[in-house]
Chain A
Amino acid sequence: MNGLTSLLGVFDISLDKLSNGELWLAQFFRGLSDGATYASVALALVMIYKSTGFINFAQGSLALLGVYLAYIFSVEQGLPVAVAVVCAMVASSAVAMFVERVFIRPFPPDHVLPLVIVTLGLLLIIDSAVGIVWGFRTRSLPSMFPSGAPIEWGIAQLTWRTIGNLGTVFAVVGLLYLLLSRTKVGLAFRAVSSNLESARLVGIRVGPTLGFGWALAAAIGTLGGALVVPDLLLEPSIMLRVLIFSLAAAALGGLDSLVGAVIGGLVVGLARNLLVTFLDLSELALATAVAVILVVLLVRPTGLFGSTTVERV
């Protein structure tokens, strides 16, 4: 018992907190909201991973660029936030297609290591470029959703923003599912990821298909960023932190599963908020994300929903 009390002491756990139902509910809602934002960026990672078999580290940077564009369009040009975000999604898709065409396509798509290095380089370049152009002072981007909470229970609030974040993520996942399973471009996308050589041999133009994947992922990443940033402040390193949580979410969900990315995102968001609140681990919030990645890779490398490829030869 002594040991337990001292352990509780180390983590500064107060029984008051633990028995506070409203606090649990409040953190549950916050966790869902954060989780939805991680999930949306994780979806962008999964889209690229599905087509190319590697994690595109530049994804967060393209999203960062997109969020800055959304800031310009809304705060500086005065467009409604939702419209500004849509414009930024289109613009960041265009940038992503350009980047893919110039920096990625010259490399053979089946040699993953050089490509990963290139995306790391792109991450550094784009992040620095954003810093040079817009400076390092923090800005705030308003949320697309109205403030206030339709449901309140003491300190626990289910805010419009939480509802909006969750709704956005579910809508994105639904649309992506339809795109991948019901359209020709979706079929091309999955064929390329399944067997590059056979994809060429049925006449699929592999380069443009992957370029489309980059554009789509950048748009989703920008949308995800526009969900995240109102909770934090906009500055050039912001997406790097989000990227780590989203990577954890994607790894937990299984890297190639859209549904997995959403569930992974929600789990990571909830875990983070509960740990930070009840164990006072705010300094270790990022470390928990890395821990999730490590545990998943050790215990279940395919994640919760990833495809264990069953192949008979």
Chain B
Amino acid sequence: MSPAYLEVAGLKAAYGDIQVLHGIDFSVDEGQIAVILGANGAGKTTTLRALCAMVSTEGSIKLAGEELAGQRTADIVRRGVAHVPQGRGTFPDLSVEENLMAGAFVRNDAEVRADVEQWYQTFPVLGERRNQTAGSLSGGEQQMLAIARALMLRPSLLLLDEPSLGLAPMITRSLFEQLVAINADAGTTMLVVEQNAALALGVADVAYVLEAGEVALSGPAHELAADDNVRRAYLGY
């Protein structure tokens, strides 16, 4: 069996003296959507931050066979890893358009401009507000912008930290539909941290449940979603 696209082994992470991840293993195949579930403080956000070297880590992170651990954030981004951090992933003082241009910062190809137009078509509200500062957008619009900004990298791996946070259920659902469409069109591998377990399991291929910094449970998303015991014990619905 060939190794997975993203292969994480023995990943530990700590903020100062506080150990948050105690050596977790997980993998995501190319083109899959994986979801990380778990209670507050289980280490979901830290896992995503560890993948981008935004927290001090130990262990191995292999992307397409190449070791990412020990590299700097700027270099990991150049490997095609885009990260939409929790809450505010935009540049509030920059215009919508400048946010998108910043998302393509490491690209030097001639298609940046065309990609900007493409995201304006996908998210028309961004096109209407292209000259407004990102800080003046509503929460949902900012989240769209943060995701479009991340996709401007043309990432091979997209990390999303609670994309539904603070959004109305309708907007969340359409956002997830967009993500599935992008996954289908561009084949972008995605790793999503999400509180809304039912929604996330509905779109994901595989799921990992974190508990106190360890992987408590993993498997195909539809199996986890169908297992009543799992649902009651870990997912709370």
Residues of A within 8 A of B (CB): 184, 187-188, 190-191, 193-195, 197-205, 307, 309-313
Contact = CB atoms under 8 A, between A and B. Distances in A.
B92 A202 contact: no
A205 B72 CA distance: 9
Given A310-B136, A312-B136, A312-B137, A203 B105 contact: yes
13 contacts: A184-B105, A187-B102, A190-B93, A194-B92, A198-B85, A200-B52, A201-B77, A202-B153, A203-B73, A203-B78, A203-B106, A311-B136, A312-B136
Contacts of A203: 73-74, 77-78, 105-106, 153
B93 A194 contact: yes
Interface string B109-140: 00000000000000000000000010111110
Contacts of B77: 200-203
A227 B92 CA distance: 36
A272 B92 CA distance: 37
B115 to A, nearest CB: 14
B12 interface: no
Nearest to A188: B105
B101 A200 contact: no
A193 B92 CA distance: 10
Interface string B139-161: 10010000001100100000000
B230 interface: no
B89 A198 contact: yes
A193 B101 CA distance: 16
Contact of A205 (B74, B92, B103): B74
B68 to A, nearest CB: 14
B171 interface: no
A208 to B, nearest CB: 10
Given A202-B103, A307-B93, 10 more contacts: A187-B94, A200-B52, A201-B83, A201-B89, A203-B74, A203-B78, A310-B135, A311-B92, A312-B135, A313-B139
Contacts of A195: 88, 90-92
B92 A197 contact: no
The 8 closest A-B pairs by CB, nearest first: A203-B77, A203-B106, A194-B91, A311-B135, A194-B93, A200-B73, A202-B105, A191-B102
Interface residues of B, number: 33
B98 interface: yes
B198 interface: no
B52 A201 contact: yes
B82 interface: yes
B106 A191 contact: no
A312 to B, nearest CB: 6
B54 interface: yes
A186 to B, nearest CB: 10
Contacts of A190: 91, 93-94, 98
B95 to A, nearest CB: 10
Contacts of A193: 93
Contacts of A198: 85, 88-91, 102, 149
A312 B138 contact: yes
A199 B102 CA distance: 8
Q: Which of A193, A199, A202 has the most CB of B within 10 A?
A: A202
Contacts of B88: 195, 198, 313
A293 B105 CA distance: 38
B139 A200 contact: no
A204 B78 CA distance: 10
Contacts of B92: 194-195, 309, 311
A202 B149 contact: yes
A184 B101 CA distance: 9
Nearest to A202: B105
Contacts of A312: 135-139, 142
B98 A187 contact: yes
Contacts of A199: 91, 102
Given A194-B91, A312-B136, A204 B85 contact: no
Given A202-B103, A203-B74, A197 B85 contact: yes
B74 A204 contact: yes
Contacts of B153: 202-203
Nearest to A190: B94
